[in-house]
Amino acid sequence: MLRKVIIYFTLGIILLTSAYFAFVYYASYSEGVRSGELIKFSSKGYVFKTWEGEISQGISGAQIFKFSVLDNNEKVIEGMKELQGQYVKVSYIERYRTFPWWGDTNYFITEVQKDVSPFKMK
């Protein structure tokens, strides 16, 4: 009897843990588009190297959008490197939680493209 209880309890813990990690891995909270000047993009971390960046969405950096890029998204990483210091538009997904090897933020960029700054005079 006690052996069955221990087995069911262990299986329950494994099932709940698996469900939690599956939820964190697949579920997204929101998705959208933001634009601004790409002011920072770098690979950082002690144990897990992740790609992190910042976009200034206001005058003189009044509003900063911090984001991460997954390592397997090489097209976005190369685009970010090329567009450093320029006005960009990014598509992103926001996750409920993240893993340490994914990045520091809950915002993950899925696409980047050059955009025209609304602050430039014609």
pTM of the entire predicted model: 0.79
Q: For residue 110, what pLDDT is reported?
A: 94
Average pLDDT value for residue range 25-50 = 89
Q: Answer whether 107's CB lies under 8 Å from 92's CB.
A: yes
Question: Which stretch of DSSP H or E encloses residue 91?
Answer: strand 87-94
> In terms of Cα–Cα distance, which of 40, 33, 79, 37 is closest to 57?
37
Domains of the chain: residue spans and CATH: 28-114 (2.40.50.140)
Average pLDDT value for residue range 56-78 = 86
